[in-house]
Amino acid sequence: MRKTAQYLFLVLGCLHLVGGPYALIQAYAWANMILAYSQDGPIGDAVADTFSGQKPCSLCKKIEAAKESDTKENRENKPLALSSAKPFQDLFPPSTVALKGRFPAPYACPVFAAPGDPSSLPATGPPAPPPRC
Protein backbone atom coordinates (compact mmCIF):
# COMPACT_ATOMS: atom_id res chain seq x y z
CA MET A 1 0.00 0.00 0.00
CA ARG A 2 2.78 2.39 0.94
CA LYS A 3 4.73 1.62 -2.23
CA THR A 4 1.62 2.28 -4.33
CA ALA A 5 1.11 5.65 -2.65
CA GLN A 6 4.75 6.54 -3.28
CA TYR A 7 4.45 5.68 -6.97
CA LEU A 8 1.21 7.64 -7.25
CA PHE A 9 2.88 10.65 -5.62
CA LEU A 10 5.83 10.29 -8.00
CA VAL A 11 3.59 10.12 -11.07
CA LEU A 12 1.56 13.14 -9.93
CA GLY A 13 4.78 15.09 -9.29
CA CYS A 14 6.11 14.27 -12.76
CA LEU A 15 2.76 15.18 -14.27
CA HIS A 16 2.89 18.55 -12.54
CA LEU A 17 6.41 19.17 -13.86
CA VAL A 18 5.42 18.53 -17.46
CA GLY A 19 2.44 20.83 -17.46
CA GLY A 20 0.02 19.79 -14.79
CA PRO A 21 -3.61 19.55 -15.81
CA TYR A 22 -2.85 20.41 -19.44
CA ALA A 23 -0.70 17.30 -19.79
CA LEU A 24 -3.45 15.11 -18.36
CA ILE A 25 -6.08 16.58 -20.68
CA GLN A 26 -3.67 16.34 -23.63
CA ALA A 27 -3.09 12.64 -22.92
CA TYR A 28 -6.87 12.13 -22.86
CA ALA A 29 -7.20 13.99 -26.18
CA TRP A 30 -4.43 11.91 -27.78
CA ALA A 31 -6.05 8.67 -26.61
CA ASN A 32 -9.37 9.74 -28.11
CA MET A 33 -7.67 10.77 -31.36
CA ILE A 34 -5.86 7.43 -31.66
CA LEU A 35 -9.13 5.64 -30.99
CA ALA A 36 -11.01 7.71 -33.58
CA TYR A 37 -8.29 7.48 -36.27
CA SER A 38 -7.81 3.73 -35.74
CA GLN A 39 -11.44 3.10 -36.68
CA ASP A 40 -10.71 4.45 -40.17
CA GLY A 41 -7.36 2.74 -40.76
CA PRO A 42 -4.45 0.80 -39.24
CA ILE A 43 -3.18 1.67 -35.77
CA GLY A 44 0.21 2.80 -37.10
CA ASP A 45 -1.41 5.42 -39.31
CA ALA A 46 -3.65 6.47 -36.40
CA VAL A 47 -0.64 7.07 -34.15
CA ALA A 48 1.19 8.92 -36.94
CA ASP A 49 -1.85 11.14 -37.62
CA THR A 50 -2.32 11.84 -33.91
CA PHE A 51 1.22 13.02 -33.22
CA SER A 52 1.95 14.66 -36.58
CA GLY A 53 0.18 17.89 -35.66
CA GLN A 54 -1.49 17.99 -39.08
CA LYS A 55 -4.95 17.02 -37.81
CA PRO A 56 -5.50 18.44 -34.30
CA CYS A 57 -8.84 17.76 -32.65
CA SER A 58 -11.01 20.46 -31.09
CA LEU A 59 -9.78 19.58 -27.60
CA CYS A 60 -6.15 19.93 -28.72
CA LYS A 61 -6.93 23.39 -30.11
CA LYS A 62 -8.57 24.43 -26.84
CA ILE A 63 -5.60 23.18 -24.82
CA GLU A 64 -3.18 25.09 -27.05
CA ALA A 65 -5.26 28.28 -26.67
CA ALA A 66 -5.37 27.87 -22.89
CA LYS A 67 -1.59 27.35 -22.69
CA GLU A 68 -1.04 30.40 -24.87
CA SER A 69 -3.30 32.58 -22.71
CA ASP A 70 -1.49 31.40 -19.57
CA THR A 71 1.91 32.31 -20.98
CA LYS A 72 0.66 35.74 -22.08
CA GLU A 73 -0.65 36.43 -18.58
CA ASN A 74 2.66 35.37 -17.06
CA ARG A 75 4.71 37.49 -19.47
CA GLU A 76 2.91 40.74 -18.69
CA ASN A 77 4.73 42.84 -16.13
CA LYS A 78 2.09 43.64 -13.59
CA PRO A 79 2.97 46.16 -10.88
CA LEU A 80 3.12 44.64 -7.44
CA ALA A 81 0.49 45.74 -4.97
CA LEU A 82 1.77 47.92 -2.17
CA SER A 83 1.97 46.06 1.07
CA SER A 84 0.36 47.46 4.20
CA ALA A 85 3.26 46.21 6.32
CA LYS A 86 5.77 48.69 7.70
CA PRO A 87 9.22 48.83 6.16
CA PHE A 88 12.01 46.82 7.73
CA GLN A 89 13.57 49.88 9.36
CA ASP A 90 10.35 50.70 11.22
CA LEU A 91 9.98 47.16 12.51
CA PHE A 92 13.63 46.76 13.53
CA PRO A 93 15.22 50.15 14.22
CA PRO A 94 19.02 50.12 14.39
CA SER A 95 19.07 51.28 18.03
CA THR A 96 17.45 48.05 19.21
CA VAL A 97 20.09 45.96 17.50
CA ALA A 98 23.16 48.00 18.47
CA LEU A 99 25.08 46.96 21.58
CA LYS A 100 25.13 49.61 24.28
CA GLY A 101 27.97 50.21 26.71
CA ARG A 102 31.33 48.53 27.00
CA PHE A 103 31.95 44.96 27.86
CA PRO A 104 33.87 44.17 31.07
CA ALA A 105 37.56 43.40 30.80
CA PRO A 106 38.22 40.00 29.26
CA TYR A 107 38.71 37.08 31.58
CA ALA A 108 42.21 35.85 32.20
CA CYS A 109 43.15 32.96 30.00
CA PRO A 110 43.90 29.75 31.91
CA VAL A 111 47.52 28.65 31.90
CA PHE A 112 48.18 24.99 31.29
CA ALA A 113 51.33 23.18 32.37
CA ALA A 114 53.52 21.41 29.85
CA PRO A 115 52.83 17.67 29.43
CA GLY A 116 56.16 16.52 30.93
CA ASP A 117 56.10 18.98 33.84
CA PRO A 118 55.80 17.28 37.27
CA SER A 119 53.39 19.99 38.40
CA SER A 120 50.91 18.72 35.82
CA LEU A 121 50.61 15.37 37.64
CA PRO A 122 48.00 15.09 40.38
CA ALA A 123 49.32 15.53 43.93
CA THR A 124 47.53 12.46 45.21
CA GLY A 125 47.18 9.02 43.71
CA PRO A 126 44.29 7.87 41.67
CA PRO A 127 40.88 8.00 43.33
CA ALA A 128 39.88 5.03 45.47
CA PRO A 129 37.44 2.60 43.97
CA PRO A 130 33.84 2.92 45.15
CA PRO A 131 32.80 0.71 48.06
CA ARG A 132 31.19 -2.62 47.27
CA CYS A 133 27.72 -3.29 48.52
DSSP labels, the chain: -HHHHHHHHHHHHHHHHTTTHHHHHHHHHHHHHHHHHHTTS-HHHHHHHHHHSSS--HHHHHHHHHHHHHHHHHHS-PPPPPPSSPPHHHHS-HHHHS--SPPPPPPPPP----TT-GGGS-SS-SPPPPPP-
pTM of the model: 0.47
**pLDDT tens for each residue of the chain, 133 residues long:** 889 999 999 988 887 787 778 888 888 999 999 999 999 889 999 999 899 988 888 999 998 898 888 777 766 656 555 555 556 666 665 665 555 566 665 666 666 767 767 666 666 666 778 778 7
